[in-house]
């Protein structure tokens, strides 16, 4: 939106001039059931270092009155776009009062209003990060102008209101219209972590008891229509685990008076770290059976937000270029808590991190928009698109390496000093590094420059030399190692990225594995520092060649890893035979990265997965492989072979569903995998039978969420239509059901259905955020490429207008979700380039489109590699006088590119 931006230079000048003391905010939400607008009254007291001019931020349809130091200002003159100009400030104390009508939203920004179709009651919550407190009250909207906040809220009778501070002990006061909730002031915090949540929410309460005798009240809230599914004790258990572990590691008392977790509807993110009042997407209240991987993900989210109470809320970055300080730290500590806290259900959480979050980081770091972890953030538009895999996952990976580099005890001792020195304040990167240097004794400036201030990803490759000798052949290795070294590469940054590639210092482990009774068992582990282009590892010289030599074992560093040819061959045959989940995950991740890079043809990746996934015990890894195989087949497979590959995969999902242990997580995962890809008559008939009850799979619960997944696939394939969608919505007349129905209607394989879905998203702006997201997901079906082909031109014709007329969250959904990613062809790149050359998009929009373009470009390269592999196989089959390998045989050699790790041209 024009006029809603804020530059770093403006923020720095405002921070130089002002010290903000306190806000008093009165919100009248008594009309929330009807919607529209609400009355907002803000009084803010602040000091000015000198007489001068500044501004305060506000997004509101109407401003009724503005008073500065008791003098009225003409709203028509001083309020424009999102700012109220404040001229003639007094040096010293100032007081500003602003009375406005602000608007409820349905976009997940500001004060979001949602009406539950089950009870027809309205439910409200605020979401303020990055710049949306100004949609609810006048504020100096930047993280370093901290203040205390006192909220007074008028709400309908019977409602509960929750804020950062505890509710008044006596409850709400009776008012003329509804009840009035008067909250005590908060500690000094940033505006973006303030919160108000209101509605007839259901709640469960408990407490955390510390060893020092301190008790912290705990609350969990959700809508009454979800109360029967709320597993509060499980959520409390994870929360208490986090309190115990963080209190020990941080050595700083929990900084707020209570800790509420509110599961709210139509939430754009996973969760938000509002001080003492965390909001979490209510899809984490599971309505149907889910696998343990979903519980692990929910637990990581809970712990992530709890960690933010210290890192982000107690101590806050000065400006958004240090956003990573918040997000990377919370990500690292949440997963470390799962891995190391006594009694944790997920001691193998680093496996999930390696196979999911780091894959996200690797993808992000190879885009033209790659950036340093400590990114240059010029304005709010920059930060709004910077909540990405580098800020979260790469940053957490680097912190994990830093812990290995300085030692865990030294790391957390430094963090303890950091909290005590900067409590309730704002910091920059040097503040944290200085504390860590004191406790570790290491100079971290060079490390910081290499890891935090440069972009791109390194590749680590083994250099192996062997000769025949006695003892050779341990496991499936061969020969004696005469030399082993680690070669580090710094590939060129993607075209369009800024900066230069650099070699970095890595702390890694080298693991050796041999086959013992059919299992790949680690026989040695060597931890060392890798620096420069080549690092010798003399500890391995003279030893029998192991079956597998794995670089970056235990996943200590952040780098792409390749296997030597013999290790790759053994991994191909025995990937599922590793006794531990983490080395399997690292090999799976390496294979996926090679597939994306065109070093491993898609057909060989499919062979690898089919040969090894049956032995994969980690359900999170299994589900990740399901998604990756489907993506590879749909986008990276040679078009002429794609149908064959999809047929093999879809039949494999059916067979494995029928063979899975009844009632197991693996059975549910394979049912969902089949529901995502079924295409033959036999497969689709099974889906239909599961849905109508005429067929069954022993132990499989066909519950609400699985029913929608089955129906969606039947709709996509033309085996169900509006009648079946309406019937299923009648069975599930909830907000989740409405979203599923919207997706299914958009997924119907007709031109009329596509036109209707497109119009509802692009030509109209009435859909709530969650419904718009559902329609987009249903609209884009890779099985319907021809139906979607006309929408490439329509996308580029509408994009800039959508971006400039919608809120950021809504526009970003459209810009990313409707980009013609399934159209993997040169004409898509040409259309994108023509638009980029003429449309003059904002920097943020340009970044999103360039990232999407890169996905098509990468897919074209991968398709070319897969086609070349197919031609090579055909030539070998002809020379052998046969017709190629039969289904079920082992994978073909990955080819010279995969074996040697040679870079694909053009990267």
Residue 124 phi, psi (nearest 5): -120, 150
621 in Cβ contact with 585 (< 8 Å) = yes
Question: Active-site residue 786, yes or no?
Answer: no
The number of CA neighbours under 13 Å toward the Cβ of 56 is 33
Q: What is the DSSP string of 649-707?
A: HHHHHHHHHHHSPTT-HHHHHHHHHHHHH--SHHHHHHHHHHHHTSS--TT----HHHH
Q: How far apart are CA 154 and CA 145, in angstroms?
A: 27
DSSP 584: H
The one catalytic residue in 305, 580, 616, 851 is 305
Per DSSP, the residues of 356-387 read IIHHHHHHHHTSTT---SS----BHHHHHT--
Separation in Å, CA 838 to CA 797, 832, 855: 11, 10, 21
CA–CA distance, 482 with 645 (Å, rounded to integer)? 42
The closest alpha carbon to 324, from 232, 396, 253, belongs to 396
The DSSP output letter for 135 is: G
Alpha helices in 717-760 (DSSP H): 722-731, 735-746, 751-758
Rounded Cα distance between 465 and 422, Å, is 52
Residue 483 is encoded by which pair of tokens?
């030399």
Helix (H) or strand (E) holding 48: strand 37-48
Name the token pair of 516.
Answer: 């013992």
Strands (E), 233-367: 259-264, 271-272, 277-281, 316-317
- CA–CA distances in Å: residue 401 to residues 12, 321, 429: 33, 21, 17
- DSSP reduced 3-state for 203: strand
Please calculate the CA angle 531-537-540 and round it to the nearest 5 degrees: 160
Cα-based distances in Å from 833 to 48, 215, 440, 666, 853: 49, 59, 49, 43, 9
Q: Would you please indicate which residues are annotated as catalytic (active-site) residues?
A: 305
């Amino acid at each position: 939106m024009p006029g809603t931006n804020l530059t770093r230079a403006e923020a720095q000048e405002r921070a130089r001039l002002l010290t903000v003391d306190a806000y008093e905010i009165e919100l009248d939400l008594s009309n929330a059931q009807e919607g529209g607008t609400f009355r907002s009254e803000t009084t803010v007291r602040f000091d000015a270092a000198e007489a001068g001019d500044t501004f305060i931020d506000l997004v509101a349809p109407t401003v009724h009155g503005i008073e500065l130091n008791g003098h009225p200002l003409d709203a028509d003159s001083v309020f424009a776009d999102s700012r109220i100009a404040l001229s003639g400030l007094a040096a010293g104390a100032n007081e500003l009062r602003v009375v406005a009508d602000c608007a409820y939203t349905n976009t997940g920004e500001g004060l979001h209003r949602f009406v539950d179709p089950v009870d027809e009651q309205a439910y409200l919550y605020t979401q303020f990060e990055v710049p949306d407190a100004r949609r609810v009250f006048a504020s100096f909207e930047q993280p370093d102008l901290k203040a205390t906040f006192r909220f007074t809220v008028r709400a309908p009778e019977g409602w509960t209101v929750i804020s950062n501070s505890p509710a008044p002990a006596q409850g709400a006061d009776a008012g003329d219209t509804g009840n009035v909730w008067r909250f005590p002031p908060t500690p000094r915090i940033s505006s973006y972590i303030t919160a108000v949540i209101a509605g007839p929410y259901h709640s469960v309460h408990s407490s955390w008891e510390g060893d020092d005798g301190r008790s912290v009240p705990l609350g969990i809230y959700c809508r009454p229509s979800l109360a029967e599914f709320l597993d509060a004790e499980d959520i409390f258990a994870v929360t208490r685990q986090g309190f115990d572990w963080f209190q020990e590691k941080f050595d700083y008392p929990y900084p707020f008076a209570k800790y509420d977790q509110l599961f709210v509807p139509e939430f754009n993110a996973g969760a938000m770290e509002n001080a003492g009042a965390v909001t979490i997407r209510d899809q984490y209240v599971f309505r149907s059976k889910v696998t343990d991987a979903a519980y692990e993900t929910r637990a990581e989210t809970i712990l992530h937000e709890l960690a933010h109470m210290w890192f982000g809320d107690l101590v806050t970055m000065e400006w958004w270029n240090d956003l990573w300080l918040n997000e990377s730290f919370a990500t690292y500590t949440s997963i470390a808590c799962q891995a190391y806290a006594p009694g944790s259900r997920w001691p193998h959480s680093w496996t999930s991190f390696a196979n999911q979050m780091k894959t996200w980081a690797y993808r992000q770091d190879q885009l033209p928009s790659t950036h340093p972890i400590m990114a240059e953030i010029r304005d709010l538009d920059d930060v709004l698109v910077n909540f990405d895999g580098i800020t979260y996952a790469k940053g957490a990976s680097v912190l994990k390496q830093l812990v290995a580099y300085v030692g865990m005890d030294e790391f957390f001792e430094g963090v303890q000093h950091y909290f005590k020195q900067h409590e309730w304040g704002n910091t920059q990167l040097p503040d944290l590094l200085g504390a860590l240097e004191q406790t570790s004794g290491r100079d971290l400036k060079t490390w910081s420059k290499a890891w935090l201030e440069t972009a791109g990803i390194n590749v680590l490759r083994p250099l192996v030399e062997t000769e025949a000798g006695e003892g050779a052949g341990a496991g499936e290795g061969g020969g004696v190692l005469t030399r082993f070294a680690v070669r580090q590469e710094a590939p060129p940054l993607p075209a369009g990225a800024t900066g230069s590639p650099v070699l970095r210092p890595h702390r890694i482990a080298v693991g050796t594995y041999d086959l013992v009774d059919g299992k790949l068992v680690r026989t040695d582990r060597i931890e060392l520092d890798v620096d420069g282009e080549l690092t010798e590892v003399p500890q391995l010289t003279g030893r029998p060649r192991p079956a597998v030599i794995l670089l970056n074992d235990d996943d200590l560093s952040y780098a792409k890893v390749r296997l030597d040819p013999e290790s790759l061959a053994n991994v191909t045959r025995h990937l599922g035979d590793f006794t531990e989940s983490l080395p399997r995950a690292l090999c799976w991740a390496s294979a996926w990265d090679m597939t994306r890079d065109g070093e491993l043809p898609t057909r060989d990746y499919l062979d690898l997965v089919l040969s090894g996934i049956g032995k994969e015990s980690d359900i999170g890894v299994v589900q990740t492989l399901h998604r990756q195989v489907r993506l590879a087949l749909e986008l990276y497979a040679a078009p002429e072979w794609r149908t064959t590959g999809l047929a093999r995969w879809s039949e494999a999902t059916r067979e494995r569903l029928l063979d899975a242990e009844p009632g197991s997580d693996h059975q549910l995962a394979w049912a969902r995998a089949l529901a995502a890809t079924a295409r033959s008559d036999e497969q689709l008939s099974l889906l239909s039978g599961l849905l109508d009850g005429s067929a069954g799979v022993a132990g499989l619960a066909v519950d609400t969420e699985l029913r929608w997944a089955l129906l969606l696939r039947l709709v996509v394939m033309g085996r169900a239509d509006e009648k079946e969608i309406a019937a299923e919505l009648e069975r599930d007349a909830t907000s989740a059901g409405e979203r599923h129905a919207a997706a299914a209607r958009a997924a119907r394989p007709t031109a009329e259905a596509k036109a209707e879905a497109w119009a509802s998203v692009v030509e109209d702006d009435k859909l709530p955020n969650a419904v718009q997201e559902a329609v987009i997901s249903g609209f884009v079906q890779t099985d319907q490429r021809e139906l979607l082909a006309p929408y490439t031109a329509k996308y580029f014709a509408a994009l800039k207008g959508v971006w400039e007329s919608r809120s950021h969250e809504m526009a970003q959904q459209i810009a990313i979700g409707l980009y013609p990613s399934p159209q993997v062809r040169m004409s898509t790149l040409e259309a994108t380039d023509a638009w980029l050359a003429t449309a003059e998009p904002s920097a943020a929009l340009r970044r999103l489109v360039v990232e999407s373009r890169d996905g098509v470009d990468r897919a074209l390269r991968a398709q070319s590699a897969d086609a070349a592999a197919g031609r090579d196989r055909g030539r070998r089959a002809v020379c052998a006088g046969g017709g190629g390998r039969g289904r079920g045989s082992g994978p073909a050699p990955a080819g010279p590119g995969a074996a040697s790790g040679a870079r694909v041209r053009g990267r």
